[in-house]
Structure 1
Amino acid sequence: MIRILPALALCLPLVLMAQTERQPIDSIVALVEEDVILQSELDQAIDGIVRQVESRGENLPPRNVLEEQVLERLIMQRLQILRAESTGIRVSDADVDDALNRVARQNELTGGQLRQAVEAEGTSFEQFRSEIRDEIMISRLQQRVMSSMDEISDTEVEILMASDQFGGREYLLSQIVVSVPESASPDQFREAEARVEEIYDRLDEGMSFSSAAISYSQAPDALEGGDVGWRNISALPPVFADAVEGLSPGEVSEPLRTPAGVIILQVRDVRERSEVIVTEYRARHLLISPSELITTDEARERIEDLRERIEDGEDFAELAREYSSDQSTANLGGLLDWFPAGAYGPYVREQVESLEPGELSDPFQSPNGWHLIKLLEVRESDRTEEVLRSEAREMLSEQKAQEEVDRFLRQLRSESFVEIRL
């Protein structure tokens, strides 16, 4: 055995040389701070984008244009991950497992089926886990950036709701963004405006807005065809609202100059804001929870006994005060005053939607124990004002958050060392 080892050792370099000759060396396409992005990473990301674009039935730009767009996205992702790591943000295996479970549930799959679906698309499950980990880390970094924002005040909400446009039309928008650096000079803005004019020429020649966004936009949503989604006219900055108001589906705005750059908007669809009518329920509720003194079976037997007593004429409210484990409603005789169906979770929702006023449910089980519900009344309630107020606050918060994140990303990009070797 001892005499064989040197012979094997002499053979190893030859084997490695042969393997090297058969396998092309993975080249570096970008240096990002002290990290690198490899050609294989870029190719894999491009393959994923190609599948997405083709599934939407859209045309792909030339390969070199797509490479530039995808590489810039990879650079921004890598910069954010590096910043997150340097500021102490960590993602545990349990965090990744929770996120994967949510992805599986959203797609009505088991964990095993999710793995099969991922691998069927040509991606290893470990790579998918790694991508999920990166997304969580980037999300936490951006949440930290947004946490520095001032709270939305009641006054801001009132001002928005009092505006003529609030609660009006909603627009399905796409965008093309030609970015400029933070505190851009007039020359840099002129360069951006010249590039925007070239994009208009491509649109006039028949290029679709989505393809133009994939090819030229420098916004994070570029590879999704610039899709912004539905926006209420009142949720848009005034310069955007003025530009799109009155445009018909398919029409494109004039160039819009902002601190972030020059933007073109396309209106893909328009819809009117409708009233919000909600079905509300009034009911009584009784809960028997298992404990150290009561087993699950004993809780079920007790709730069945209480149901019989109610059917025999005893007062639901008095029994709830005496026996219910629900401390928030027991003193109120189990009263659940007017509430929308989903306010107390799926188990209560299923019952109230199936009962008629005055009807008593059968005993039903949830993770909290065994329940009884007696439906008292049902009504249709106009919640438009309440919903609009909530939407106004959310709109202002989203607008401020997006502005804060965009400002952070532009600053991060301009301050970081990036060398593209594509």
Structure 2
Amino acid sequence: MHRLSRISQMKHFLLAFLAAGTAAFLAPLAHAQSVQPLDGIVAVVNDDVILRSELDRQLTQVQAQFANNPGQLPPRDVLEKQMLDRLVLQKLQVARANDSGIKVSDAQIDHSLTQIAQQNHMDISQLRGAVQSQGLDYGQFRNTIRDQLLVQQLRQQIGQSRAQVSDAEIDSLIKNGRVRTEQLHVAHIVINLPEGASPEQVDATRAKAENVVREVRDGMDFAAAAIRYSNAEDALQGGDLGWRGVNELPPALVEAADKLQDGQITDPLRGPNGFHIVKLVGKRDSGAQLVTEYHLQHILIKTSELVSSEQAKQQIDAIRKRIVDGEDFAKAATESSQETETARLGGDMGWSPANAYGPQAQAVIDKLKKGELSEAFEVPPGWHLLKLIDTRQADKAGEMQRNEAKNMIFQRKAEEEYMSFLRQLRSEAYVEIRLPGSETPAPAAP
């Protein structure tokens, strides 16, 4: 199963939001509470609505995130429209995920919240307190995480169902020498084109992108330009894509980045969805692909309803004593091990990379010297003995190159397929914008 390489953007947003601090949030919230405006509908999305309070909540969080650099944000009316567009698309994706039968368990949400807490050096109770101290409802916070996980799984489902990679494509990519080991740290700005754009709309969008390039080259901070102008989902993160293998990025982008020095930006690049402006932050080589491998022998005594853990431990201890007293490990494994696949081979597990059998087994392996027998240890489905035959450093460059090629093709196809899916989803949806100044007319009565 491939996983899309893109990390959930909302998680980065939430981390930044938590890091912004209590004071930055309480002031606008206190003002909002003192005014207490009536809630209203700012958009109708199919059978759902977006409330003024939802939009205000998003705006408050973004403004607090940039409390120390408010000049990076566009004017409020522009920011409102950007945030409303993203809320519309979010509603559509969540609805489609629900309609597709995608489920997110409470355990998955808890795991994500634990990760967020750990990255902020908190435990869950401290995270809850931090969220509530900033005037936010923790239940809504959990729902936001749930929605992001739903969208993430929808992305994976669309990518895995539509982006197929053949061995012939992998072979061709490797043969043509297009699988490279370098990594690029890039940021981008995307100026979207509407579906079925006319030549006039293409020219206008290109002119807008060229103007953004001029502003950045004249001194405007790239991240500020991304926040102000970009239509990409990562705009509020300054368009930062982080370190990416060159094989994960579109060839046109890599070709353009190859001509840049650190800190430089491209001219507008025409893509399937609009115009892209790319900044090269840095380059690095991923280096040699050396992996430590272990040659092991193994004996297993399983636990069951009929064999308790204590009884299995007694059996494995007796086997270990026989080996220590001189019995050949292979003979003992063949006669006694309940791991049938390796027992017939004298317990030989062959060569395996580190952590192939889990962290608990690896902790045991790390303590062994060549030719040494382990103490008995318990990991489901029972009690184990290991003997370390040898270790080696294996160059996995060829295997990893093939995996990299496969991932590269998949990532490109999955991204293209999902962008196409989003355009179709948006074009087929009924969306009525009621934000003052941006209203879309309701359809005429039949």
Which of 153, 158, 171 pairs up with 2:166? Answer: 153
**Structure-2 change in CA distance of 1:206 and 1:152 (3 Å):** same
CA distance in 2, matches of 1:209, 1:98: 35
1:89 partnered with 2:101? yes
- 1:417 maps to 430
**Structure-2 change in CA distance of 1:23 and 1:45 (3 Å):** closer
CA distance in 2, matches of 1:51, 1:300: 58
CA distance in 2, matches of 1:221, 1:417: 25
Residue segments in structure 1 that go unaligned for 5+ positions in a row: 1-20
CA distance in 1, matches of 2:106, 2:263: 40
- 1:275 maps to 288
CA distance in 2, matches of 1:331, 1:51: 64
- 1:44 maps to 57
CA contact (8 A) 1:58 1:210 kept: no
CA distance in 2, matches of 1:83, 1:238: 31
- 1:348 maps to 361
Q: Alpha-carbon deviation of 1:393?
A: 0.4
CA distance in 1, matches of 2:307, 2:236: 57
1:297 partnered with 2:307? no
CA distance in 2, matches of 1:60, 1:142: 28
Larger deviation, residues 127-136 vs 306-315: 127-136
1:331 partnered with 2:344? yes
Which of 77, 97, 100 pairs up with 1:64? Answer: 77
1:240 partnered with 2:253? yes
Corresponding pairs, count: 400
Q: Alpha-carbon deviation of 1:143?
A: 3.3
CA contact (8 A) 2:102 2:153 kept: no
CA distance in 2, matches of 1:303, 1:336: 18
The secondary structure found in structure 1 opposite 2:161 is coil
Could you tell me the TM-score, scaled by structure 1's length? 0.87
1:253 partnered with 2:266? yes
CA contact (8 A) 2:109 2:142 kept: no
- 1:14 maps to none
**Structure-2 change in CA distance of 1:72 and 1:342 (3 Å):** same
1:203 partnered with 2:219? no
CA contact (8 A) 1:214 1:225 kept: yes
CA contact (8 A) 1:170 1:270 kept: yes
CA distance in 2, matches of 1:122, 1:232: 40
Map residues 342-421 of structure 1 onto 2, 5 A cutoff. Answer: 342-421=355-434
- 1:321 maps to 334
Larger deviation, residues 141-150 vs 245-254: 141-150
1:184 partnered with 2:194? no
Structure 1 vs Structure 2 CA RMSD = 2.6
- 1:11 maps to none
CA contact (8 A) 2:290 2:394 kept: yes
Which of 261, 266, 282 pairs up with 2:279? Answer: 266
The secondary structure found in structure 2 opposite 1:138 is helix
Counterpart amino acid of residue 123 in structure 1 = L
Q: Alpha-carbon deviation of 1:198?
A: 2.2
CA distance in 1, matches of 2:52, 2:78: 15
The secondary structure found in structure 1 opposite 2:219 is coil
1:172 partnered with 2:178? no
The secondary structure found in structure 1 opposite 2:275 is strand
Q: Alpha-carbon deviation of 1:328?
A: 2.8
Could you tell me the TM-score, scaled by structure 2's length? 0.83
Larger deviation, residues 411-420 vs 260-269: 411-420
Q: Alpha-carbon deviation of 1:73?
A: 1.2
Counterpart amino acid of residue 108 in structure 2 = D
- Return the index of the structure with the highest Cα Rg: 1
CA contact (8 A) 2:63 2:70 kept: no
Larger deviation, residues 111-120 vs 137-146: 111-120
CA distance in 2, matches of 1:54, 1:285: 59
Which of 129, 139, 151 pairs up with 1:138? Answer: 151
Q: Alpha-carbon deviation of 1:54?
A: 5.9
CA distance in 1, matches of 2:158, 2:204: 30
Q: Alpha-carbon deviation of 1:55?
A: 8.9
Which of 104, 108, 111 pairs up with 2:114? Answer: 104
Which of 222, 242, 247 pairs up with 1:229? Answer: 242
Residue segments in structure 2 that go unaligned for 5+ positions in a row: 1-33, 436-446
- 1:6 maps to none
Larger deviation, residues 299-308 vs 98-107: 98-107
% of aligned pairs identical?
A: 41
Counterpart amino acid of residue 383 in structure 1 = K
CA distance in 2, matches of 1:405, 1:328: 42
The secondary structure found in structure 1 opposite 2:162 is coil
Counterpart amino acid of residue 344 in structure 2 = N
Larger deviation, residues 271-280 vs 118-127: 118-127
Counterpart amino acid of residue 421 in structure 1 = R
CA distance in 2, matches of 1:56, 1:363: 59
Larger deviation, residues 62-71 vs 302-311: 62-71
CA distance in 1, matches of 2:160, 2:185: 28
